[in-house]
Structure 1
Amino acid sequence: MEQPISATVAVNAEERTLNRIAIDVGASKSSVATVEIVGNHPTKTATTGGDDVRVLTVNEYKKAGYSLALSFWEDHSSRYFIDTPDTAHWSEQQKWDLHLRMMEYITYAHLLKGLVVSAGPDYDCVALWMPPSQNMDDYITLLRSGMWRLSYQLSPLGRDRFFNEFLPLLNHTKASVLGPRDQDSWYLVYIGTKPSGRGKGYARKAIEYVTKMADQDGKACYLESSNEVNRMIYGKMGFVLKKEIWLQREKENVGLDIMVREPVGTEERERERESDADSGVDVK
């Protein structure tokens, strides 16, 4: 969805301003968690455009957020917060603007506290990972990322769905499925591939960048998937369906698959790759 020139100029100006702020507070590079993780697990990453996986920094949050917004624009779980009875009078542009801001805020929060990677030459696939012992629930992260703005930017019904149904359901489900490992596992919060980048294996690269580290450390990986097609794709990467949950305040319930990948050894991982050709389908 293209933005008008005036909006693009405004976005670029805002990005420059936030970049300067990020530099002032020492957040222009990678988060402390990212530096520690990457430092402890040296692996090949791209430093410029290309098909390899690249670890993103705070000043890239706009482009990464835009990629995720494109990826999830038609996703039922994303539309759940903007297609509410009290937004029936909103234009699609208004809904897109809010959807984009949500993705930017969430991306920024993960750049501050988690690990954000991309694959493909133009942010074709972006993955937001939360490492073990990390979360984005502290007040400083909520303030700096802009997540707090959603409390007044969402409509009353959208706000209720997001803060009183969606987030509590995800938190409770993750804790119940993982048990004592809840805070000692990798959490794939979002992964999206732009329509133009699908079918090229970018999502697999963005996922395997972390699952290799998780295997080395003996950590499980957890995700929620809102697209039933992806159940098979994630399954080929070692994820197992554990539970199905439902968002229930719309005319039709919105389902989410809960999947967990247990750590595997190097030999087992290589056997999986050899027996699994890329399906040509990429996750949203």
Structure 2
Amino acid sequence: MDGRGTGGAARIEVLGPPQIEAAAAALVRSHADYPAFRHVFPDPATRERALHPFFAATVRDALSFGEVLGALDGTTVLAVAVWLPPAAFPWSVGRKLRSLPAFMRVLAADPRSFRTFMGYGANAEHAHPEDSHWYLVVLGVRPDAQRRGLGSKLIEPVLRRADRDGVACYLETSDRANVAYYERFGFKVVDDALALVPNGPTHVAMRRSIHDEPTMPKPRRE
């Protein structure tokens, strides 16, 4: 079954094309109760059908233009972090066209919510800061693999790279319970009411500046 073997030590690796679907499935499970997606796709079954192609497209794009890190137990993907480097977001027209089939699957899953979903994406592009930064597009840990320090292990490698290169990092979250978690890594709130989802919950925008000299959290014991 899908959750088998999730109690052991996980290994961290850069994911590749054969793991796109498994990574998308892990992200869907980790975002089952994410406020923004609950607003856009109120029905849980519909939400799952719509989010899988969206996350698969997100992962596939980042394999070419960014970096996708995963925590695995055997072949099971437990957690995923999708990062885009400076200047890789918003997507170019060509990248959007390559992902069109995936977005048509989102449309087929919930035609009534598709306009809101696309508005969410357009607003995220419009509000995105223009300065040079690494963008944490999405971080997700399956519920049955949480509280094992996997998220930290997927965040820290890129934070170290950003520090080395003298580059900031940026993210948004609609789950305010995540704010304190990201603050552990040196992220600071730069906007606590970012309106991205049409008529939906606001997001918190967070930035990790190279000038803040944050303290990296101590690794948790597995």
Q: Which bin holds the TM-score, normalised by the shorter protein?
A: 0.7 to 0.9
Gaps of 5+ in 2: 3-7
TM-superposed CA distance for 1:74, in Å, is 1.5
Question: Equivalent residue for 2:55?
Answer: 103
Quick one: structure 1 residues 239 and 260, their matched pair in 2 at CA, closer, same or farther if it must change by over 3 Å? same
Partners of 1:187 and 1:254 lie apart in 2 by 21
Partners of 2:190 and 2:56 lie apart in 1 by 29
SS at match of 2:137: strand
Matches within 5 A, 1:45-194: 51-83=10-42, 92-121=44-73, 122-135=76-89, 137-145=91-99, 146-149=101-104, 152-153=107-108, 155-164=110-119, 166-175=120-129, 179=130, 181=131, 184-194=132-142
Alignment length (residue pairs): 213
Runs of 4 or more above 4 Å deviation: 247-250, 276-280
Partners of 2:64 and 2:38 lie apart in 1 by 26
Matches within 5 A, 1:241-256: 241-244=189-192, 245-247=194-196, 249-250=198-199, 253-256=200-203
| Contact persistence 2:78–2:142 (CA under 8 A) | yes
Question: TM-score, normalized by length of structure 2?
Answer: 0.83
TM-superposed CA distance for 1:257, in Å, is 0.8
Quick one: structure 1 residues 140 and 173, their matched pair in 2 at CA, closer, same or farther if it must change by over 3 Å? closer
Judging by fraction of residues, say which structure has more helix.
Answer: 1
Partners of 1:161 and 1:124 lie apart in 2 by 29
Judging by fraction of residues, say which structure has more strand.
Answer: 2
Quick one: structure 1 residues 136 and 174, their matched pair in 2 at CA, closer, same or farther if it must change by over 3 Å? closer
Partners of 1:240 and 1:138 lie apart in 2 by 28
SS at match of 1:229: helix
Post-superposition CA distance 1:89-108 (Å, at most 9, x none) = xx743442222222222222
1:262 aligns with 2:205: no
Matches within 5 A, 1:214-225: 214-225=162-173
SS at match of 2:41: coil
Equivalent residue letter for 1:98: A
Post-superposition CA distance 1:187-215 (Å, at most 9, x none) = 00100000011101110110001000000
Partners of 1:194 and 1:95 lie apart in 2 by 16
TM-superposed CA distance for 1:256, in Å, is 1.0
Quick one: structure 1 residues 235 and 278, their matched pair in 2 at CA, closer, same or farther if it must change by over 3 Å? farther
Question: Equivalent residue for 2:182?
Answer: 234
RMSD: 2.9
TM-superposed CA distance for 1:151, in Å, is 6.8
Post-superposition CA distance 1:136-174 (Å, at most 9, x none) = 62344334443442573254442221223x123212222
Question: TM-score, normalized by length of structure 1?
Answer: 0.66
Query: Percent same amino acid at aligned positions?
Result: 24
